[in-house]
């Protein structure tokens, strides 16, 4: 029904063909209108995700990575508004869908894994009720069917004794188990796409490893397209195929994981990679830092947002915003003075 509405809609792009991205975001802008100022949280974000591909979005706090994730399913909290851009999912522009169709997609074809496993489950209803709600809304399953399907789902995410767990309330589960339940809920309607917003930030490192292993496994098993929002470059290195580096609401650099780590081109990426504390065999007493603080994105200033902290800054950086330009196949960077080789940056 809703699909018919879509196909007759003028201006809708041709349906996705083979090899076309599952999700494509073009020039997305999100801003928050406050009383005295406007926060430009996302400015001109473009990215795409193919089936079976894990795209990492990295950035520090305030870089706009979480807002980007939320806007992809049109869940930007008030007073945030998507002020421009297009988001195509399987060929349909999500920003032009009526809300009812959008609701079918959220939790249906696109599963969300939020950051905080403690507060993402309703504390006063059982695990089973969570599943029943999703499964009856999207798939129209009855109580019994939903229960059976929930047991299957819990088993598939590695929860022992799922039948007992279903009758329990969220507080009875550990953080890791709660995150598994949330993943099972996201997977409940066999989505085509998963968006995970810092899925392991609240978890311990050994549990984090387990959850990420599960994430990889699900993506592969169901050939999902996945977006993994994280601040941790280690997670990107191990669990993503391509990366988008964000800073102050803008994409600074995007590349395959290998290209980004082997040949980072944006000075911010280079700096970020250097800052990450590493497990080295001998103690390093040198701390690489990026001087200064991340900017407030309350004004849309001309020039590169990283310019005030950048070692390679030139006059042009302060007056003209660099566009995202391809410097190698599948490797784009928004910088007037990109780093040619990492050795050059060290000097």
Residues with Cβ within 8 Å of 18's Cβ and at least 6 positions away in sequence, in order, are: none
Candidates 17, 77, 283, 343: give the one binding other proteins (CB under 8 A): 283
* Smallest separation, CB 31 to other proteins (Å): 22
| Residue 287 is a binding residue for other proteins (CB under 8 A) | yes
Cα–Cα distances (Å) from 22 to 81, 192, 272, in that order, read 24, 8, 29
| Residue 293 is a binding residue for other proteins (CB under 8 A) | yes
Contact 87/97 with Cβ under 8 angstroms? no
Candidates 289, 329, 343, 347: give the one binding other proteins (CB under 8 A): 289
| Residue 99 is a binding residue for other proteins (CB under 8 A) | no
| Residue 231 is a binding residue for other proteins (CB under 8 A) | yes
Could you tell me how many residues of this chain bind other proteins (CB under 8 A)? 47
Contact positions with other proteins (CB under 8 A) in 183-222 = 204-210, 212-213
* Smallest separation, CB 311 to other proteins (Å): 13
Pick 144 or 283: Cβ nearer other proteins: 283
Residue 133 burial (CB count, 10 A): 16
Residues with Cβ within 8 Å of 134's Cβ and at least 6 positions away in sequence, in order, are: 107, 185, 188, 189
Residue given tokens 């803008």 in the structure block: 250
Stretch that binds other proteins, among 77-85, 89-97, 131-139, 171-179 (CB under 8 A): 171-179
Pick 97 or 235: Cβ nearer other proteins: 235
Q: What's the rounded Cα separation, in Å, for the pair 292 and 334?
A: 20
* Smallest separation, CB 295 to other proteins (Å): 11
Residues with Cβ within 8 Å of 163's Cβ and at least 6 positions away in sequence, in order, are: 151
Q: Which of 22, 58, 46 is nearest to 229 (CA)?
A: 58
Contact positions with other proteins (CB under 8 A) in 58-97 = 60-61
Contact positions with other proteins (CB under 8 A) in 232-261 = 232-239, 257-258, 261
| Residue 308 is a binding residue for other proteins (CB under 8 A) | no
* Smallest separation, CB 145 to other proteins (Å): 31
* Smallest separation, CB 107 to other proteins (Å): 27
**Token pair recorded at residue 22:** 């599952």
Q: What's the rounded Cα separation, in Å, for the pair 163 and 152?
A: 10
Pick 144 or 278: Cβ nearer other proteins: 278
Residues with Cβ within 8 Å of 99's Cβ and at least 6 positions away in sequence, in order, are: none
* Smallest separation, CB 256 to other proteins (Å): 9
Contact 27/46 with Cβ under 8 angstroms? yes
| Residue 57 is a binding residue for other proteins (CB under 8 A) | no
| Residue 41 is a binding residue for other proteins (CB under 8 A) | no
Cα–Cα distances (Å) from 121 to 117, 229, 310, in that order, read 7, 20, 42
* Smallest separation, CB 290 to other proteins (Å): 4
Stretch that binds other proteins, among 17-25, 74-82, 285-293, 327-335 (CB under 8 A): 285-293
Q: Is 144 exposed, middle or buried (0-12, 13-18, 19+ CB in 10 A)?
A: exposed
| Residue 282 is a binding residue for other proteins (CB under 8 A) | yes
Pick 16 or 169: Cβ nearer other proteins: 169
Contact 107/189 with Cβ under 8 angstroms? yes
Find the distance separating the first CA and the last CA of the chain, reported in whole Å.
Answer: 62
Name the site residues for other proteins (rule: CB under 8 A): 60-61, 174, 176-177, 204-210, 212-213, 231-239, 257-258, 261, 271-273, 275-285, 287-291, 293-294
């Amino acid at each position: 029904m809703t699909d018919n509405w879509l196909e007759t809609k003028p201006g809708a792009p041709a349906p996705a063909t083979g090899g076309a991205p599952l999700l494509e975001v073009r020039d997305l802008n999100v801003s928050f209108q406050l009383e005295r100022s406007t926060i430009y949280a996302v400015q001109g974000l473009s990215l795409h995700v193919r089936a079976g591909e894990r795209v990492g979005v990295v950035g520090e706090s305030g870089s706009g990575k979480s807002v980007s994730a939320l806007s992809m399913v049109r869940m930007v909290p008030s007073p945030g508004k998507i002020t421009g851009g297009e988001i195509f999912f399987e060929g349909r522009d999500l920003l032009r869908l009526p809300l009812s169709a959008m609701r079918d997609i959220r939790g249906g074809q696109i599963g969300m894994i939020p950051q905080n496993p403690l507060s993402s489950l309703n504390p006063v209803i059982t695990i089973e009720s969570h599943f029943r709600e999703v499964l009856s809304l999207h798939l129209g399953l009855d109580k019994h069917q939903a229960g059976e399907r929930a047991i299957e789902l819990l088993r598939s995410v590695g929860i022992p004794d799922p039948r007992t767990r279903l009758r329990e309330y969220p507080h009875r589960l550990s953080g890791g188990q709660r995150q598994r339940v949330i993943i099972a809920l996201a997977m409940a309607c066999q989505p085509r796409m998963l968006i995970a917003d810092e899925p392991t930030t609240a978890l311990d490192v050994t549990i984090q490893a387990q959850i990420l292993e599960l994430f990889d496994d699900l993506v592969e098993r169901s050939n999902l397209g996945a977006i993994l929002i994280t601040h941790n470059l280690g997670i990107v290195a191990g669990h993503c195929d391509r990366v988008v580096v964000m800073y102050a609401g803008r994409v600074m650099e995007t590349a395959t994981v290998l290209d980004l780590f082997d040949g980072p081109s944006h000075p911010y990426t280079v700096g970020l990679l250097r800052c990450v504390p590493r497990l080295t065999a001998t103690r390093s007493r040198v701390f690489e830092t990026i001087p200064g603080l991340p900017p407030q994105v309350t004004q849309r200033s001309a020039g590169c947002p990283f310019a005030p902290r950048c070692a390679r800054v030139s006059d042009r950086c302060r007056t003209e915003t660099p566009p995202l330009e391809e410097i190698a196949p599948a490797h784009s960077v928004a910088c007037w003075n990109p780093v040619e080789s990492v050795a050059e940056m060290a000097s």
